[in-house]
Amino acid sequence: MRVYLDNAATTPMDPEVLKEMYKVMESHYGNPSSIHAHGREARTLVERSRKTIAGLLHTSPAEIFFTSGGTEADNTAIRCGIIDHHLTHAITSRTEHHAVIHTLEALEKSGIIKLSFVDTDEKGNVDYNHLERLLQDNERTFVSLMHANNEIGTITDIERVGNICEQYNAIFHSDTVQTMGHYPHDLSKLKVHFLVCAAHKLHGPKGVGFLHVNHRIKIKPMIYGGSQERNMRGGTENIYGIAGLAKALELAYKDMHEHQQYIQGLKLYMIEQLKNEVPGVSFNGEIEPEKSLYTVLNVSFPEMDMADMLLFNLDISGISASGGSACSSGTDIGSHVLGAIGANSARPSVRFSFSKYNTKQEIDYTVAKMRELCAPGL
């Protein structure tokens, strides 16, 4: 039996998305920048996709810029937002994705900004009072806080953060890679300047995403070249990926409530089964439904011999899961997120992440294997 529980790393493509992309690959091979009929057809497809995405997010198509994914979108927002607006101070948390932390650290190392870290508690919750105190230095600041943590699932109230940033005239960027397509985003109400998406996190293709840039803020391109994306991102558009992204987001919004209820049920079921079957198990981050991303469950298991082989043994058993952020897979350093919240480094941790394609049978199989690995004598 093969069980895929690493959906926070990437999701399997929805068959409807694959069908849409294949149709586009067959018929739309023109360059969207060309003025002939084939080019105009490709351009129409790109703009129709942009309009679909903007409609779902309650924003203008002029605020959606296609990218190669979440990392490029994060880098563009951070680098251009800070440099083009001559900012000298940035605030983030130590539990952010490396696409955010490493970009800000590079800017700090270059002497462009002073970087501050907002306090978080043992479950990864942002201290909003500390955020306000950090913003009270009377200099315009860049704030980058993700909507939901990709390793432990703790949700940040980005509506509250947006209101705080508006009060202090700060520029607000939120990495929404893990929540786009899983929660509704109404950008006509949310006070955010930059927001990002990666298609492969919501059953779309890899290599494509978008950056939302609020009309109240102007930035220059990070990637120069042609006049693509209204002079905001050089390079021929990935029209097949863009079509797949639009289709994936459309499908996600169509059945969002049903998928959330189903996947949340799987997560709660796994929590109860692990509590019952694996002595000494505990959970990292928030697990209450209203405070936690329903697709992610980070579990600490009892100390054991050969703890570093736990993921390998799961893989041998046919179970795909992660020890932390997938973007750090293959390294021998521990999770910076678990370190930031003070998790016990002696205990092995596994991130299980779910999708609409998972089943209770797969959860039962996984829990049984974890019991064998953690408590073989029981």
Residues designated catalytic: 327
Structure tokens at 56: 């779902």
Q: Tokens 């860049």: give the residue.
A: 142
215-218, Cβ contacts within 8 angstroms, sequence gap of 24 or more = 215/60, 215/62, 215/63, 217/81, 217/85, 217/171, 217/193, 218/84
User: Smallest Cα–Cα separation from 263: which of 363, 169, 114?
Assistant: 363
Strand partners, 141: 89
Structure tokens at 233: 């991102």
- Phi and psi at 322, nearest 5°, equal -135, 155
| Side-chain-side CA neighbours of residue 25 (13 Å) | 9
Q: Tokens 């043992």: give the residue.
A: 122
Q: DSSP for 262-276, please give it.
A: HHHHHHHHHHHHHHH
Amino acid at 53: I
Contact 198, 70 (CB under 8 A): yes
Structure tokens at 348: 């092995």
User: Smallest Cα–Cα separation from 248: which of 283, 313, 291, 200?
Assistant: 200
Please give the C-alpha separations between residue 179 and each of 183, 295, 337, in angstroms, as whole numbers.
6, 9, 18
User: Smallest Cα–Cα separation from 57: which of 232, 239, 245?
Assistant: 245
